Amino acid sequence: MLRVGRGKAFNKVLRVPGDKSISHRAVMLGAIADGTTRIENFLPGDDCHHTIECFQRLGVKIEREGATTLTVHGKGWKGLREPDQCLDVGNSGTTIRLLLGILAGSPFFSTVYGDASIARRPMARVVEPLRRMGARIDGRAGGRFAPLAVRGGELKGIEYHSPVASAQVKSCLLLAGLRAEGWTKVKEPHPSRDHTERMLKAFGAELSLGEGAVSVRGGQSLAGCHVRVPGDISSAAFLFAAALLVPGSRVTVRDVGINPTRTGILDVFRSMGAEVTVTPTDQWCGEPVGDVTVAGGPLRGVEVGGDLIPRLIDEIPVLAVVATQAEGRTVIRDAAELKVKESNRIATVAEELRKMGAQVDETSDGLIIEGPTSLQGALLDSHGDHRIGMAMAVAGLASEGEVRVKGAEAISVSFPNFAEILKELE
């Protein structure tokens, strides 16, 4: 149980753990590359540990030096071997979907499964296009849900127009495309995060980008790389929100990833009236890094939809919390994808915020929040979803009376030291 009381004004300079999306990809590309991949500032969260374990079961040697430094000894695709046990992805959607792209073209049998949340998440979005490439995948409900069984083999490139803007779908197909015959092209309705594209280039792959699509030629091999993982802007977002929820506060997060496909939350906080300063400092393995400062002030409601949604999809729970303190109405639309995240985040955000007295309506593809409302302390539930747990904990900083969050252990999926950092802000 995590307990959070009302916050006092703070002015802090902090760091957050490494980016989850980039940490997964560094292990995966390192595993299929030839040579050594050294990874620094790796996220020591549960999701990324599952990725490491899956690749160890596939025969890849991965050495750990402390919690955040790893060496992956890749031997190319040939270095992967048939696992003698099922591959457990835990709670991680990125692990299962990207891994399927690698397994589809690997000439052996494997099975993948995860926790109760993973078993509810849609897999047809990757299974169906992989089958079009020639993959043999079976699973629960005809392969629409995990557990899934893969008999890997030869693939052929396809041109795929994804109905959803999803980096997991895009990345799965690009990884499969690396082993397929000919070219694989993926087009999506809105641009999703492009970490796979950036990292593939850093590992020496050739990609063709343009007109909302990315293509990869099959038969390319990757070369091991040195990856330094930027701080996760999705974790930093909880600290930015804290600064907005506690009047008079300011926070700087150093060395955070500022890839434009991930910074939608900064644009939205700015349009709500927050002071947001981004100072780019470096590029790490093709990823822009910088220091980001956020300070509060009077906030107003905003409308968020369209292309912005994939740029802040994981930040919507905490955006909803901030919106309860903004003057006027906040409308979040085009975000039906929230229903198929670690929990149904439209339902879980609305349910938990209402327990605190917030005015929140669920719509078919988003949320409508009326503000400002004064939040009351309450017993809240993470629903086993790390981002719901953290969003509700941060809401406690703005509430009268203590917030208690049940199921807070889920937070270790992406931000293992969250509770310690939050304590500094109370």
314 lies in the site for ligand S3P, by CB under 6 A: yes
Q: Does 339 carry a binding-site annotation?
A: no
Q: Which residues pair with 280 in a beta bridge?
A: 290
307 included as an active-site residue? no
- In this complex, which beta carbon is closest to ligand S3P, that of residue 125 or of residue 377? 125
How far apart CA 313 and CA 321 sit, in angstroms, is 14
Stretch that binds ligand S3P, among 60-68, 69-77, 166-174, 372-380 (CB under 6 A): 166-174
**Closest listed residue to residue 234, CA positions, set 176, 329, 315:** 315
Stretch that binds ligand S3P, among 161-169, 206-214, 343-351, 398-406 (CB under 6 A): 161-169
- In this complex, which beta carbon is closest to ligand S3P, that of residue 88 or of residue 314? 314
**CB-based contact 266:150 (threshold 8 Å):** no
Report 68-97 residues binding ligand S3P (CB under 6 A). 94
How far apart CA 172 and CA 98 sit, in angstroms, is 4
Positions of E strands within 140-182: 145-151, 159-161
Active-site residue, from 255, 314, 381, 385: 314
**Closest residue to ligand S3P in the complex (CB):** 21
**CB-based contact 334:309 (threshold 8 Å):** yes
313 lies in the site for ligand S3P, by CB under 6 A: yes
**Closest listed residue to residue 392, CA positions, set 383, 401, 405:** 405
Residue 304 structure tokens? 């968020």
- Tell which one of 110, 168, 235, 324 touches ligand S3P (CB under 6 A): 168
The Cα-based distances of 220 to 182, 205, 213, 324 in angstroms read 11, 7, 19, 50
- In this complex, which beta carbon is closest to ligand S3P, that of residue 171 or of residue 252? 171
Cα-Cα-Cα-Cα torsion 397, 402, 406, 408, nearest 10 degrees, comes to: 30
106 lies in the site for ligand S3P, by CB under 6 A: no
Binding site for ligand S3P (CB under 6 A): 21, 94, 166-168, 171, 192-193, 313-314, 337
User: Which residues are known to be catalytic?
Assistant: 314
Residues annotated as binding site for 3-phosphoshikimate? 20-21, 25, 166, 168, 314, 341
